[in-house]
Each structure stands twice: as C-alpha cells, then as structure tokens.
Amino acid sequence: MAGSSTGSIGSIGSMNICDCGKRAAMYTSWSLKNPGRRFFTCSEKSLRCDYFQWFDHEVHGRNGDVITHLNNRRKKYSLPKLFH
C-alpha cells in the first residue's frame, strides 16, 4: 500500500485471523487516498501472507481532507524522539 501506516496487534470486537493462521494486526493508513482508515493484515512479518481487510468504511470528501490536514499538523509540531 502506498503511503504510511501505523499499527498494533489486535482488533475491536472479534479477532481476525489471517490466511496463514496467525492473529491479524490492525494498522491505520495515512495515505492520501485512505487517511485515518484502519485495516487488518498479517502480523507475522517474516511470512506476510496476502491477507488484507478494511475495518472502516471509506472516508469521503471533506472528512478525508480534515484528517489529512490534522495529521500533517501533528507531524509538523511533534517533538523529536529522544530515546529509541
């Protein structure tokens, strides 16, 4: 997927299982086409099966513009990481 995403293991509600039998991880897309939209994909980084499922409905119009604008402002004003 083009753009960036952030993620964590888990889901809201029922647990999603990917095609390789592992628990799917939930990520948030920050691409221009799908800002703030959450999705499930394989959590096993070494395998990365083709499992993919959107959690949220598509973001339309002004809502997507606002999410993208706020995310860009957050990035601009966030403090640098002192510890890794």
- Three-state SS string over 55-73 comes to CCCCCCHHHHHHHHHHHHH
Rounded to an integer, what distance in angstroms lies between the CA atom of residue 17 and that of residue 58? 22
Could you report the per-residue pLDDT of 34-66, keeping only the tens digit for each? 888 889 988 877 766 888 899 987 777 788 788
pTM value is 0.59
